[in-house]
Structure formats: structure tokens, C-alpha cells
Homo-oligomer: A and B are copies of this chain.
Amino acid sequence: MTSAMDNRQAHGPLVLSIDAMGSDRGPATIVAGLSAFARKHRDVRFLLHGPEAELRPLVDKHKGLPAQVEIRDASGVVSMEDKPSHVMRNGQDTSMWSTVDAVRNREATVAVSCGNTGALMLLSMVRLRKLPGVNRPAIAVLWPSRNPQGYNVMLDVGADIRADADDLLKYAMMGASYARNGLNLERPRIGLLNVGTEEHKGRAELKAAHELIAANAEAGSFDYVGFVEGGDIPGKRCDVIVTDGFTGNIALKTGEGTASLINSLLREAFTYSPLSRLAALLALSSLKRLQARVDPRRKNGGVFLGLNGTVVKSHGAADATGVAAAVELAYDLAQSGFGDRLAARVASAAASADTEATADPAEATDTKKNGTGI
């Protein structure tokens, strides 16, 4: 088995692996988003996976892009309806498979795909394999919040429908790493999602996780704020919300659905009468400012954590702006060496758990001295 610490790219330009297929809007949108990002980062290179005959003209349309892109011909496409197990058995020729394998082969640091989440997760798990010490990988998202950084991290939002106490501890470690690298928080505050903040509430595995996460806060260089509630996901009590993938998925979609309903009602309210349409015109810049703060496209991308390699899952319906945001996220994570840092951190947690969850002050201090904690 490959050690996670060996999983570094050779020196040279930073390379990202991009799945051109699987978007609801087609490959032209992916290439447009890629080009928007590439214009600002001419030193980054891309492996772009999909049918070459289709992709070549799309890439050639964007000035400067061809020099940054190497197309990897792959004729198969994973559709949103394909069962993950079917893709795993028969998907060797697909662009998704090729995208993930470029990270597996260390040709690229981070993979980005808009495709079928279940298939992407299963492919990533099998091809990249789980990090030592991780039983269940997780999908983490950024969520608009009242915190100064504007976003909170929530995980798992759907990699697995179950999580035991040890999984939740690993999610806390991984979420803290992600918040440090993705949101620049030196010492993220972790909350464990529950139906109340009292210690006696909730399911048995949550009480066990509560103890375990508290005991590992020092080793993980995070602060543990204890149980938090649904209202704290967009709140400011903590920076990272830890939960199982069933609950996290439902919370994510409930939040998105509520935001979308309010958005529709806001539009309705502003087209109700001539006066309200005039008001809307005047309010345009205010409404745009609001939109920018809660626009999911600005922070598009769930990140698969706990594997030998980082995979960014972009929304299937993302437009070019959304794709560019997902690629930007992949770039940020690749540049900070996030994958290796996360692996080292989880390994230390695993070791720490092996010695009965005692904190290792030496490790924590060392991390602080470097000023580059994962």
C-alpha cells in the first residue's frame, strides 16, 4: 500500500485533473469555466478528460487555454442515472474514471468532476483508497454563515448514511484541516450536530463522539464547542459542523431549498406592482450584494476527504462561474499541500486514538511552531 506521505507530485507546475463530462450543461460550460480560471492562473496545467474530438474545438475557442490543457481522450460518459456499482464494473473508459486515475497515478494533485456523486465517490474510494485510520470518507461543503470568514464547513453531507463515534472524530479532524486550509482559520471551532446543546441529549453514538472529540481537541489543534443545533449551521457558534451523512445531506438540501424558496418569493414581491418594480430597479445593487453572499456558485464544490488524494465534486447544474469556483477551490487545496497535511493529521489522530485518545502535546506544539497546521 502507498503511504499517504509519498503522494506528492514531482516538482513542476501544479496540475489539476478535470472531468469535462457529466455536467447538466454539457462540456462547453466546463471548458468555459476552466478558461475563466486559467486566465488568472497561467502557470497551472490541466488534464482534461473526455472525447477528444468533441473537446478539442471547445478548448481551441478560448485564447491561451490550449497551451495549458492536455486532453486525455475518454469516450465513455457517466450519466446521472448510472448506478455507482455499474460504473465501477464497466466504467474504465469513462472520463470520470480517467479523471480520478490521474490523481491515483500522481499526474495531478486534485480532481474536479461535475458528475454523478455516488459514482464519483465509489470510484474515488476504490481507485484512490482510504487514508490509513479512516473508515468512512466524508464530503465537506462550505455554507454561508454569520462568521467573519463568511462560510462554515459542514461534513459529512452524503458520502455515507451512517457514522459511528470514531468516524465522527475523524470528520472533526478532517473538517478542522479543511477549515485551516480552505478558510484560513488557525484554530477552527468544531461543533457536533445534535437536537439540543445539553450533554444528556441525543443518540448514543453522539454522546460517545462528544467525549472522543473533546479528548482529541488539543491533538487536532481545534477548539471543541460541544453540541450545536441546526440553527448553528449558518451561525457563528462554530466554524465546522460535524454530522453523519444522512443528517448532513438533509440539512444541506433543506437549507438550499429554503434559500431558493425565499429567492423566488423575493422576485415575486418585486414584480408585484409597477411601484415594486421601480423599487427593485433601485434596489438592484443591494439585491446583488445579497445574492453574492448567498450565491452557491461562489463556493461551488463538495470536497471528498479521507482518501489518498483530493476530489472536488462540483454541482451538476453549475454554470461557468460555478465551474471556475470549483476549479479555484481545487487549486487552493492543491497549493496548500492540503492532501498531505490532512493525511498526516489523520494518521496522528489514529495514533492518538490507539494510545487511548491522549493528546500529544509535542505534535500540537510542533504544528503551531510551523504556523502551518493542517
Contact = CB atoms under 8 A, between A and B. Distances in A.
Contact of A161 (B146, B195, B253): B195
Chain A interface extent, by class:
35 or more
Interface string A195-220: 10000011100000000000000000
Contact of A229 (B250, B283, B293, B294): B250
Contact of A195 (B246, B260, B278, B294): B246
A282 B278 contact: yes
A121 to B, nearest CB: 12
Interface in A252-292: 252-262, 264-266, 268-270, 272-273, 275-276, 278-280, 282-283, 285-287, 289-290
A230 B252 contact: yes
A234 B144 CA distance: 19
Interface string A225-238: 00001111111000
B270 A286 contact: yes
A247 interface: yes
A251 B243 CA distance: 13
Contacts of A290: 262, 265-266, 268-269
A145 interface: yes
Contact of A235 (B257, B279, B282, B287): B257
Nearest to A251: B254
11 contacts: A195-B246, A229-B249, A246-B247, A247-B250, A250-B251, A255-B258, A265-B293, A266-B290, A268-B289, A273-B285, A279-B286
Given A265-B294, A282-B282, 11 more contacts: A162-B203, A195-B246, A195-B249, A230-B249, A230-B251, A250-B251, A254-B254, A254-B258, A269-B287, A279-B279, A279-B282
- Of all A-B residue pairs in the complex, the 3 with the closest CB atoms, nearest first, are A230-B253, A279-B282, A231-B257
